[in-house]
Chain A
Amino acid sequence: MNIDLEMDETWKEEFLARVEKDGPWASWEMYELALEAAHHLSVPEFHGLQAPKHLPHLTILPHQLEVARRVVEEMNGKAILADEVGLGKTIEAGLVLKEYMIRGLVKKALILVPASLVSQWVRELNEKFFIPAVQQKKSYVWEQCDIVVSSIDTAKKPPHRDIIYGQSYDMIIIDEAHKLKNNKTKNYEFVQNLKKKFCLLLTATPIQNRIEEIFNLVSLLKPGHLGSSEQFAKTYGKTRAVQTNDHLKALVNKVMIRNRRADTPIEWAKRHVEPVLIEFTNEERELYEAVKALRRESFAGSFSLITLLREACSSREALFLTIKNMIDKCGGAVPEPLERVLEKINAVKTNSKAEKALELIRSINDKVIIFTEYRATQLYLQWFLKQHGISSVPFRGGFRRGKKDWMQELFKHHAQVFIATEAGGEGINLQFCRYVINYDLPWNPMRLEQRIGRVHRLGQTDDVYIYNFAVKQTVEEHILTLLYEKIRLFERVVGELDDILAKMNLANLERYFEDAFVHSRSEGEMKIKMENIVAMIELAEQLGKEGGERHAAT
């Protein structure tokens, strides 16, 4: 037998010392308890998962269990976890980490996540997994704590970097790993030089769009799995997507697990979507037209007309803030066209959208989440609802973790309405609520998905209702009816659009809209441009489906 064998010496020396001193000796009962504890802590088999036995309070879904099992048994603890949004990648990663810790194979682990998610990871690992993870706040933490959570941006900077390079990690977990797709970046180099026994890379964005990106990610995890970069370029350089090459796909699947919602037998709550079209009052209409007229002004290039139009649809307060900023920039005299807008703002006495929201909230008579893009609108709505005896809680992405939790609790127990601005989408769970009002629509469909994902996620047992507000004959109505309804955005499951947009590489979707709405000389031209965008998305979907069918056939 040629295996290193190590005998633990500590017991021996202590025992001999006690023989010498004639004690102290344990009672038979303590002696038995010690042995019993050892039996409970020992792991009798190489295979199988121990972690679930340690986590009886945690509901682990079958696909999550299967992921953990495969990572440990088939992938030797190195994997890319790429489940679609909302299937619980954090749970999967926690399970794998817990399993290795129970088996004594991981003592020191480093978890790198976006700064905004650090405290959430710490909390989940502690509360759900009883893993004593700590947030890196002082530099001694790197050396003295075993399970450390940090942002990659902190970790890669001196003096942290050198301390981290001095550590030998049993496991590295990286959330949002798609940010490491470029091997020329500092982040990539940083991760490449970490000492890591086991490694999990978590990403929701499928990397199947660009083939070099998946090469980079896999090479970080397991260098050589896809060959050297020259070989890879030679063999697969002409391949456009991973799915189109069966051999490559098989290789990638050896290190990557991707569950799709459609593949899991989970029953998702039903989603009802209702467009709510709103009529402006005369004053509001005049204000909107006055803003539109700014297009013809000489200083039009220095601001985004589309932003002003969208603000005019949200609240006069939101519009006013921007206009005021513009006036401040001009210095001295107020330009005449802006003066006109200000007058119109003053003339507006009501907010038709807010009235509609109030009516809806009263008829729902249950907890409601309102999403708006603007802080000014958020404040206004809170005041407006208060006037009508409805309690609400404001929420912004910039809140610190403690405040986020507090607001979430307030909403759960004390308020009827939760008013969130855009960034509020991340890191909160509001499954106890099932009514969502999109007070104004974001122009990035991904953000819309995130909003819906807050309530329509694992654990939601009741039907979900989504109301999309849009003012008639404005950019809002166009974006709603010409785009979102055309591509059936609201009927899709979360994550699906993700795939499609990734394939299209449509990072600048918003710029297309701006072009359609602002630079079109006629209604007709604008509609044609919107139709083109719809057609592009449909094409990308078609291509995706074909890839999917081939996948099913193999």
Chain B
Amino acid sequence: MQQHEIRRFVERYFAANGCTFVEANDDYLTVQLTAEMDKELMNRPFYWHYIERTGGVPQPMRLTLITRASERTDKLKGERLHFGAPRLHQLFRSAQKRGSFIRLYEEPSAPLDGNAALHPWLGMNVTISYECDRKKDEIVSLGLHLISGTIVESFHERMRERRLTPKIPDYCFTISPLIKPRSGIGRLEQYIRSRIAADDHAWADEARRRWADDLALLDEFYKDCEEKPECYYIEKEALEKQYKPRITVSVINGGLFYLLPRSS
């Protein structure tokens, strides 16, 4: 992640959460936090407890974040932001917590002739992690048409091209889903399972081979023991933890999208 991407991310994060910028230039920005954001990020529960109990006037903190070192940031009291900075990772976590669930409606781009029907879709962005003693992630974006059961990939990219709004636009109405959200999620899960099953899993075979090799060495080491000592079993279990291939699927975010039907 480049510095300018970090800068952009941070600006968007604070703006989206209703914070104002007291100062902003190419090198740093000072953010006036809202009370909510102060509680979210500044880790001072006692202060907030105190203010709430005494009915005091809350004074949310200001946060100065330096995104490019220069002469004017030399003596500045602020936090340097870079890709490994704990603060940035805190913002990542916060964004994921606050951006998990959504419901949006598509706004027609041209004036309508009459009423328009919006079709319900279930969108889901998931991370698939392939894990052994190594690890790899893949992010997949899926959409399920809750009427026909059609599933499309790169759903999120498609959504970016549309005009979406949180309120149902005038002259539009939604069609009730035939597939309920719970079973919709089930269908997407099933889709992910078969997608994974169809993949090449040479990585897992290799991990199992490394595992078998180490296990063979371990057995060799204790082969003369009639009764294996406890550390043999501890080590054996540790090898399983180290090498056993496993796949985990976790949902980043998702929600309901009511969209105008397209011919494409």
Contact = CB atoms under 8 A, between A and B. Distances in A.
Interface string B200-221: 0101100000100010111111
Interface in B211-250: 214, 216-224, 230-231, 234-235, 237-238, 241-250
A11 B135 contact: no
B108 interface: no
Contact of B217 (A14, A168, A223): A223
Contact of A12 (B135, B136, B138, B185): B185
B168 interface: no
Interface in B67-126: 80, 82-86, 91-93, 95-96, 98-104, 125
Among B17, B84, B231, chain A packs the most CB atoms within 10 A around the CB of B84
B245 A195 contact: no
Interface in A35-87: 35-47, 53-57, 72, 76-77
B164 interface: yes
A105 B130 CA distance: 11
A4 interface: yes
A40 B25 CA distance: 25
A170 B238 CA distance: 9
Contacts of B231: 192-193
A130 B253 contact: no
B131 A105 contact: yes
Contact of B96 (A5, A38, A198): A38
B262 interface: no
Contacts of A3: 201, 204, 245-247
B256 A19 contact: yes
Interface stretch (A22-30, A240-248, A453-461): A22-30
A478 B210 CA distance: 58
B60 interface: no
B50 interface: no
Contacts of B244: 4
B62 interface: no
B9 interface: yes
A130 B102 contact: no
A38 B247 contact: no
B156 interface: yes
B193 interface: yes
A195 B134 CA distance: 19
Given A130-B84, A224-B217, A37 B245 contact: no
A426 B78 CA distance: 33
Nearest to B214: A222
B230 to A, nearest CB: 7
A32 interface: yes
Among A15, A18, A55, A168, chain B packs the most CB atoms within 10 A around the CB of A15
B19 to A, nearest CB: 13
Given A32-B99, A34-B252, A35-B253, A195 B193 contact: no
A33 B139 contact: no
A192 B221 CA distance: 13
Interface residues of A, number: 69
Contacts of A33: 9, 12-13, 16, 95, 99
A41 B13 CA distance: 16
A248 to B, nearest CB: 15
Nearest to B248: A6
B246 A5 contact: yes
A31 B251 contact: no
B111 to A, nearest CB: 23
Contacts of B100: 11, 14-15, 26, 34
Nearest to A165: B234
A526 B197 CA distance: 80
B182 A16 contact: yes
A5 B244 CA distance: 12
A219 B220 CA distance: 12
Contacts of A41: 92
A16 B181 contact: yes
A5 B221 contact: no
B36 interface: no
Nearest to B16: A29
Given A56-B83, A224-B219, A228-B223, A18 B247 contact: no
Contacts of A230: 224
A45 B101 contact: no
Interface string B133-152: 11111110100000000000
Nearest to A36: B9
A45 B15 CA distance: 33
B127 interface: yes
Nearest to B216: A224
B34 interface: no
A31 B218 contact: no
A287 B179 CA distance: 102
A37 B219 contact: no
B254 A11 contact: yes
A19 B17 CA distance: 23
A27 B16 contact: yes
A35 B156 contact: yes
B27 interface: no
Contacts of A197: 133, 238, 241-242
B247 A4 contact: yes
Given A26-B102, A31-B99, A44-B137, 17 more contacts: A3-B246, A4-B244, A11-B254, A15-B101, A15-B181, A16-B185, A35-B156, A38-B127, A38-B139, A53-B1, A105-B133, A105-B134, A192-B231, A195-B238, A223-B235, A224-B219, A224-B221
Q: Which 4 residue pairs are nearest across A and B when measured between Cβ atoms?
A: A34-B99, A224-B217, A54-B84, A224-B221
Interface of B: 1, 9, 12-13, 15-17, 80, 82-86, 91-93, 95-96, 98-104, 125, 127, 129-131, 133-139, 141, 156, 164, 166, 181-182, 185, 189, 192-193, 196-197, 199, 201, 203-204, 210, 214, 216-224, 230-231, 234-235, 237-238, 241-256
